[in-house]
Chains A and B, each alone.
Chain A
Amino acid sequence: MPSVSEVEFSRRGLLAGSAATAVIVASPAGAVATTPPKAEAAPTMPVRFKVNGEKRELSLDPRTTLLDALREHLHLTGTKKGCDHGQCGACTVMVDGVRINSCLSLAVMHEGDEITTIEGLGTPDKLHPMQAAFIKHDGYQCGYCTPGQICSAVAVLDEIKRGVPSHAQGDLMTKPTASNVEMRERMSGNICRCGAYSNIAEAMAEVAGAKA
């Protein structure tokens, strides 16, 4: 069986190859001049933040989202790009302890921040309890949304603990509990096209020490 990095390499190679082929097919001879000019390289800006406890310093086009900084510049590809518009939650990371959509935030706005990605939650040898629970309860099928689901799930249990209110709450003055209906409501910013929702809720319930 090939290692994960080999699979990753060949998949990327294939994608790059197909894109090049498509360009050749779509451009008849002599059409080169009509190709739109490449966008001018924008001046870059320095930014320093901590990712998974490690100090990082980057020089970035200000347009770079936190998501692209993590994936393309720091090669932390665990965080995924789904919709790139804050609708799917695949890009969820924690910044200064709270979950956000990393696709809807500019990297340069995070000077001095502490960012935690899926790579910082656990490793294959030392899984975070939420990662272990997702495996145990089959909280995924294709796995693409999973890093975002897990980051969000960890943050949701913390939000419940801190008493952050939700739409599912009856009385706003009582502390919320990690009930199934609470977790489903709070996880609504994470889409799973495979539909692993009920297993995700069970994984979360196990970590919360509650019954799904």
Chain B
Amino acid sequence: MRAFTYERAKDTSGAARAVAANPAAKFIAGGTNLLDLMKIEVETPTHLVDVQDLGFDKIEATRDGGLRIGALVTNTNLAADERVRRDYGVLTRAIVAGASGQLRNKASTAGNLLQRTRCPYFYDTNMACNKRKPGSGCAAIGGYSRQLGVIGVSDSCIATFPGDMAVAMRVLDAVVETVDATGQRRSIPIADFHRLWGDTPQQDTVLKQGELITAVTLPKPLGGKHYYEKVRDRASYAYALVSVAAVIQPDGTGRVAFGGVAPRPWRVEAADALLPRGAAAVTARAFQGATPTKDNAFKLPLATRALASVIAEAKA
């Protein structure tokens, strides 16, 4: 690990200013992903600003009947919150499908959104990777790509967003709240939060340097039945090959987002509208224009089958 200086921030504006002032500075909350990457020197911050004391650790009701989740609420506490289990079951189910109990106890809501890709070429500093070293090329294209993206990818990068929580948040139309060093606040729909790679895959999200996530808000509950179907190589503690987050209403309408397939949770609203016509209709629309590799083409029929199983369960 490269040497860095460390400070424990006392207030939000001070934290944002400290990171905005130094392009090589980073916020640290749970640290479960950042420290992992710092150990292999994929991440090399020179200064860490610890945000654990900033008080964003509560889940509160909003005036319009939704929930405001503090950025520092741990994955465990978010999944266990009674309101979340009752009204946003897809979110609890997505969280407990991810990582391990130990990691969920430490990982924060904001950190989960900011976790980086698990593309093996991103982690291997001997390999070309445009995301780790812009302009160096992409060893994953033409390499081992079974886990990697099938849609929304580019000629620069075919990595996927690895999280589960955000896939459920995409179905729920969550909004990411931020504040920057000047005190400017932003509300970013989760749909726009993670970027498509294009030719700048080094930038995962639309956040600016020093812009701090303070909360994630959920609109009022959708009702319906909530599902998170995760297909993976092991029964537990493995990344999704494909995951399906869905909220299905009694009349068969609903919403669906897919994980493990794209640089961000993949939801196409026009495909949602096809839910009453069955899984194949939905995935044909949601994955229109997909560019799978020979190794990961299986993800397309797998997504259809995973969704078909969710729809069947909703009807049962």
Interface residues of A (CB under 8 A from B): 39-40, 42-43, 45, 61-63, 65, 84-86, 89, 92, 98-101, 104-106, 108-109, 111, 152, 155-156, 159, 162-167, 169, 172-173, 184-190
Q: Specify which chain A residues have a CB less than 8 angstroms from the CB of B201 in the assembled complex.
A: none
Known: A84-B39, A108-B6. A189 touches B103 (CB 8 A): yes
Q: B185 interface residue, CB < 8 Å from A? A: no
Q: B264 interface residue, CB < 8 Å from A? A: no
Q: Say which residue of A163, A165, A169, A189 sits within 8 Å of B100 (CB atoms).
A: A189
Contact B101 A109 (CB under 8 A): no
Q: B236 interface residue, CB < 8 Å from A? A: yes
Rank and list the top 10 A-B pairs by shortest CB-CB distance, nearest first.
A189-B100, A188-B236, A62-B6, A188-B237, A172-B85, A42-B3, A98-B105, A167-B96, A101-B102, A63-B1
Binds A, one of B29-37, B203-211, B216-224: B29-37
Q: A63's closest neighbor in chain B, by CB?
A: B1
Q: B48 interface residue, CB < 8 Å from A? A: yes
Contact B97 A167 (CB under 8 A): yes
Taking residues whose C-beta sits less than 8 angstroms from the other chain, chain B's interface range is 35 or more
Q: What are 18 A-B contacts with C-beta separation under 8 Å?
A: A63-B4, A65-B35, A86-B32, A89-B100, A89-B102, A92-B102, A101-B102, A105-B32, A109-B28, A152-B101, A164-B80, A167-B96, A167-B236, A173-B86, A187-B101, A188-B237, A189-B101, A190-B100
Q: B1-20 toward A: CB 8 Å interface, digit per residue (1/0)?
A: 10111101000000000000
Q: B89 interface residue, CB < 8 Å from A? A: yes
Q: B76-107 toward A: CB 8 Å interface, digit per residue (1/0)?
A: 10011000011001001100110111110110
Contact B89 A104 (CB under 8 A): no
Complex CA gap A184/B101 in Å reads 11
Contact B96 A111 (CB under 8 A): no
Contact B35 A165 (CB under 8 A): no
Contact A63 B36 (CB under 8 A): no
CB distance from B226 to the nearest CB of A (A): 9
Contact B236 A104 (CB under 8 A): no
Known: A62-B6, A185-B236. A86 touches B96 (CB 8 A): no
Contact B35 A62 (CB under 8 A): no
Complex CA gap A39/B99 in Å reads 34
Complex CA gap A160/B106 in Å reads 18
Contact A85 B236 (CB under 8 A): no
Q: Specify which chain B residues have a CB less than 8 angstroms from the CB of A100 in the assembled complex.
A: 102, 105-106
Known: A42-B3, A86-B103, A164-B80. A106 touches B31 (CB 8 A): yes
Q: Specify which chain A residues have a CB less than 8 angstroms from the CB of B28 in the assembled complex.
A: 106, 109
Contact residues of B between 29 and 59, Cβ < 8 Å to A: 31-32, 35-36, 39, 48, 50, 52
Q: B34's closest neighbor in chain A, by CB?
A: A104
Q: Specify which chain A residues have a CB less than 8 angstroms from the CB of B234 in the assembled complex.
A: 188
Contact B36 A104 (CB under 8 A): yes
Complex CA gap A8/B50 in Å reads 37
Q: Specify which chain A residues have a CB less than 8 angstroms from the CB of B8 in the assembled complex.
A: 109, 111
Contact B97 A109 (CB under 8 A): no
CB distance from A133 to the nearest CB of B (A): 19
Known: A62-B48, A152-B101. A105 touches B106 (CB 8 A): yes
Known: A45-B6, A62-B48, A152-B101. A105 touches B96 (CB 8 A): no
CB distance from A147 to the nearest CB of B (A): 14
Complex CA gap A78/B92 in Å reads 34
Contact A166 B100 (CB under 8 A): no
Q: Say which residue of A39, A109, A155, A167 sits within 8 Å of B50 (CB atoms).
A: A109
Contact B237 A189 (CB under 8 A): yes
Complex CA gap A79/B75 in Å reads 24
Known: A165-B85, A167-B97, A189-B237. A101 touches B92 (CB 8 A): no
Contact A101 B86 (CB under 8 A): no
Contact B32 A104 (CB under 8 A): yes
Q: Specify which chain B residues have a CB less than 8 angstroms from the CB of A156 in the assembled complex.
A: 101
Q: Specify which chain A residues have a CB less than 8 angstroms from the CB of B31 in the assembled complex.
A: 104-106, 109
Q: Say which residue of B80, B102, B103, B237 sits within 8 Å of A165 (CB atoms).
A: B80
CB distance from A151 to the nearest CB of B (A): 9
CB distance from A6 to the nearest CB of B (A): 33
Complex CA gap A157/B44 in Å reads 38
Contact A40 B92 (CB under 8 A): no
Q: B38's closest neighbor in chain A, by CB?
A: A63
CB distance from A180 to the nearest CB of B (A): 13
Given A100-B106, A101-B32: 11 more A-B contacts, CB < 8 Å:
A39-B3, A43-B5, A100-B102, A105-B35, A109-B8, A109-B52, A159-B101, A167-B97, A172-B86, A172-B89, A186-B101
Contact A165 B96 (CB under 8 A): yes
Contact B50 A188 (CB under 8 A): no
Known: A45-B6, A101-B102, A172-B93. A164 touches B79 (CB 8 A): yes
Q: A39's closest neighbor in chain B, by CB?
A: B3
